[in-house]
Copies of this chain bind each other. A is one copy, B any other.
Amino acid sequence: MLVMMQRNATPQDIQAVCDAIQVLGFNPLPMPGALRTAIGVAGDDGQVDTSHFEGMAGVASVLYDSKPYKQVSRDWQPEKSLVSIGHGVVFGGTEVPVVAGPCSVEGEDEIVHIARLVKAAGAVALRGGAYKPRTSPYAFQGLGEEGLRQLALARSETGLPIITEAMDERQADLVAKYADCIQLGARNMMNFSLLKHLGRLGVPVLLKRGMSATITEWLLAAEYIMSEGNRRIILCERGIRSYDTATRNVYDLSAIPVVQRLSHLPIIGDPSHGVGIRDAVPPLARATVAVGADGVIVEVHQQPDKAWSDGAQSLHPPQFEEMVRSLLPIAEAVGRSIMGAGTAVV
């Protein structure tokens, strides 16, 4: 951190800043310049609240080396983390898992049926919502524990591990009983109480990026989970808020190589929520693998026109099958392979 003093800052102003730095337990390093003085803060590891200084007399601005996260960083652990969700599905290795399923669990027959279809097409894990975060209180909110039971049935029928969302601590405790990986959704990325709870639960977490979260904030959300002892975190880019209504979100694929440089955690992409337009999902899934993501998650529905939610972005099963097939040579081109699907489909 570096505190830039104003040109007309007095020696007293400078001393006051140096004193404030020492009060916080760090060493001030004043650097008088031609026009103004800058004061370095040595030993700062991201914990200092810059607002301590921004309002002090004579301070022009505070420059900040913004990497306040620790355990999730490559500095802390240079080698990539491998995160297993069981049933042989590991994120972060050379094999790229494809996760698929409907937006919402809509019934026992439906979820078992779609689970079989996506498995046959190459998916190695099943997604599906039992608890749905809906903007309107009058929209369908999910089947709840009955939905979890149906997901577990689909797993026992297909062997696919389950990823499903929880929106509060009670739901998380229940989801942990049924599912293999708990999804923490975009709207709750800064629900710090829930992040800590997931850290204590110890179940693998799929941590979606918040609607307008910076990469730093996202990694700090992961740090919340990890600081409670849970290291099994998979990051998921799912699009950020934009001013353009032509797509549901802006699917930020740049985040994938950037996060991979900053953090050892595996990171996957969700083009279904990223773009929100069915026909754009397969090309963006290919781009997701090409950019080096550690996995892809998409929505698939038997009859998207009749889906209870997210119909417009759900793939038809034949589209999904064709999409997975198209990912194989892309993965190969970047020195990886699509998990499981290779043998089944080609």
Contacts and interface: CB of A to CB of B under 8 A. Distances in A.
A278 interface: yes
A190 B133 contact: yes
Interface in A26-63: 29, 31, 33-35, 38, 40, 42-43, 45-47, 49-56, 60-61, 63
Interface residues of A, number: 116
A311 interface: yes
Given A20-B305, A211-B212, A254 B2 contact: no
A49 B246 contact: no
A332 interface: yes
A306 to B, nearest CB: 8
A29 B31 CA distance: 8
A136 B214 CA distance: 13
Given A49-B308, A243-B243, 19 more contacts: A34-B43, A46-B136, A49-B311, A68-B138, A135-B190, A136-B220, A137-B224, A138-B227, A167-B191, A171-B193, A240-B242, A241-B243, A246-B255, A250-B252, A250-B254, A261-B280, A284-B291, A287-B291, A329-B333
Interface of A: 2, 4, 7, 16, 20, 29, 31, 33-35, 38, 40, 42-43, 45-47, 49-56, 60-61, 63-66, 68-70, 75, 133-140, 167-169, 171, 187-188, 190-194, 196, 211-212, 214-217, 220, 223-224, 227, 239-247, 250-258, 261, 274-275, 277-280, 283-284, 286-292, 304-314, 326, 329-330, 332-334
8 contacts: A46-B136, A137-B224, A169-B169, A212-B243, A241-B243, A243-B243, A257-B280, A287-B288
